[in-house]
């Protein structure tokens, strides 16, 4: 039997929850206030995917090892799809304007276009558009 999750929840530690919420709001993400409080904010990626931004001390209660310092080492990459190359550029440009850092030069494979950035806490994000018709 193959396992398929109905929903995806990505938990990320943040140093300053209000600062992180302001950053992601300025990019265009919304938050579900029903699942947010002083320790966490539930950022909506789509109807089935959410990023829980957790204050580091609260995040620590869920794990048995130290919180990684992602400002100096990569802990993973959160990759999101976009509807077009233009949408990739819009999201990445908004992230950079809001204080994010470019983590890599844009990558253009013809059928796939990717922009990367680091959020205010050092987490790595990629926004990608893939022209599925080019793969046929």
pLDDT of residue 135: 74
Sign of CA dihedral 5, 9, 85, 104: negative
Residue 1 pLDDT more than 90?
no
- Among the listed residues 91, 130, 132, 79, the one whose alpha carbon sits nearest the alpha carbon of residue 108: 130
Pick the more confident residue, 134 or 29: 29
Per-residue CA distances from 8 to 44, 49, 72 (Å): 11, 5, 26
- Topology given in CATH for the domain delimited by 1-62: 2,3-Dihydroxybiphenyl 1,2-Dioxygenase; domain 1 (3.10.180)
For the domain made up of 69-136, the CATH class stated in words is: alpha beta
Task: List every span in the chain annotated with CATH 3.10.180.10.
Answer: 1-62, 69-136
**Widest Cα–Cα separation across the chain:** 48
Confidence of residue 48 (pLDDT cuts 50, 70, 90): very high
pLDDT of residue 96: 98
Lowest average pLDDT, out of 1-10, 15-24, 72-81, 85-94, goes to: 1-10
Confidence of residue 132 (pLDDT cuts 50, 70, 90): confident
Q: Give the Cα separation of 25 and 57 in Å (integer).
A: 23
* Average pLDDT estimate for 31-54: 97
pTM to 2 decimals?
Answer: 0.91
């Amino acid at each position: 039997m193959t396992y398929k999750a109905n929903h995806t929840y990505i938990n990320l530690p943040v140093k300053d929850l209000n600062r992180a919420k302001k950053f992601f709001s300025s990019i265009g993400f919304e938050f579900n206030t029903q699942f947010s409080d002083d320790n966490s904010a539930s950022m909506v990626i789509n109807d089935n995917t959410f990023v829980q931004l957790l204050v580091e001390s609260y995040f620590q209660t869920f794990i048995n090892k130290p919180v990684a310092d992602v400002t100096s080492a990569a802990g993973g990459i959160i990759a999101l799809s976009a509807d077009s190359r233009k949408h990739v550029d819009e999201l990445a440009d908004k992230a950079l304007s809001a204080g994010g850092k470019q983590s890599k030069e844009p990558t253009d494979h013809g059928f796939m276009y990717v922009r990367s950035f680091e959020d205010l806490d050092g987490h790595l994000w990629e926004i990608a558009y893939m022209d599925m018709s080019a793969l046929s």
